Amino acid sequence: MRKSVLLCACLLLITLLVGCETYSKKVQHETIRPLVLTEETERLVNSFDSKSNYYEFSTDLKHCTIRIWTIENGEWRSSDVLTSELKLEDQYHVAGVRIGEKMSEFVLMTEGESLTTLGDGFDFEHDSGMTLYMEHEQPIEESKEVPLLGMFAIKEGDNSFPADTLRRFRNVQCDRAFVITATFEK
C-alpha cells in the first residue's frame, strides 16, 4: 500500500514537472508531436522502471480518446482508457503515457486541469522485443488514430521490426504487443 501511494505521488510530481515546461514552445495547430523534456525532468522520468513518453498537441476537435491495443490469440483487441472533452479555448494540450510491469498511467493535461487514469501493466522482460515511440510531428485528422507508443515481443526468433511498425501495428506479426493510440473527434 505504501509503495502504491509513493508511486502515485511520484507520478503526480512528474506530471506537474512535465506540465510546467510544456508551455514554453507552442506546437503547430492540428498536429501532435513528442514533447522534449528538460534534462532534469528526463532523469526523474527515467528513474522508474517503466517506459514513458509525453506528447503535446493543438487541435480544434473537442474529444480525445486514448486506447490500449493488445494481441490476444493473434487478434488485436482495444479498450478505451481515457476519454476527455477538450477545452476549445485552450487549444494546447499535453498527453502522457507511462507503462510499467504492474500498472500503466495515462495523463491528459489542459491548462488548469489534469485527467489521469491507471490501467494494467505490461511485463516486457520475459520476451525479446522492442519499444517504439512516435518520433516526429504528425497531423491530427478527425477520427484517425495516431499511434503514440508500441511494445512488440516475439518469443523466438528475430526481434527486429521495420521502421514503420508503429504506424501499421495491426499488420505486425508478433506474439505479444501493447500499443497506445490517440483519436481526436468533434
- In 3D space, the residue among 5, 49, 20 whose CA is nearest the CA of residue 109 turns out to be 20
pTM: 0.77
Domain assignment present for 26: no
Please check whether residue 151 lies inside any domain of the structure: yes
Predicted pLDDT of residue 23: 44
68 Cα distance to chain centroid: 9
* Chain segment 16-57, per-residue pLDDT in tens: 445 444 444 567 789 999 988 888 877 877 776 667 788 999
> Cβ distance 54 to 94 under 8 Å?
yes
Q: Each residue of 51-103: pLDDT tens digit?
A: 778 899 988 898 899 898 988 778 899 987 888 888 766 678 888 888 777 77
User: From start to end of the chain, where are the E strands?
Assistant: 31-34, 50-58, 63-72, 75-85, 92-100, 103-110, 113-120, 128-133, 138-139, 146-154, 176-185
pLDDT (tens digit, 9 = 90+) per residue, 139-176?
999 999 999 988 888 777 777 788 788 999 999 888 88
Among 27, 10, 148, 41, smallest CA distance to 93 is for 27
Cα angle for residues 61, 109, 86 (degrees, 5° grid): 25
Specify the pLDDT at position 20.
46
Taking all residues of the chain, what is their mean pLDDT, rounded to a whole number?
A: 77
Residue 22 is predicted with a pLDDT of 44
18 belongs to a structural domain: no
In a domain, 21, yes or no: no
Residue ranges making up the domain that contains 139: 35-185
The tally of domains found in the chain comes to 1
Is the sign of the CA dihedral 6, 177, 54, 81 positive or negative? negative
Q: 66 in a domain, yes or no?
A: yes
**CA atoms of 13 and 20, how far apart (whole Å):** 11
162 in a domain, yes or no? Answer: yes
Q: Is residue 7 part of a domain?
A: no
Q: Cα 99 to the chain's mean position, in Å?
A: 8
Residue 92 is assigned to a structural domain of this protein: yes
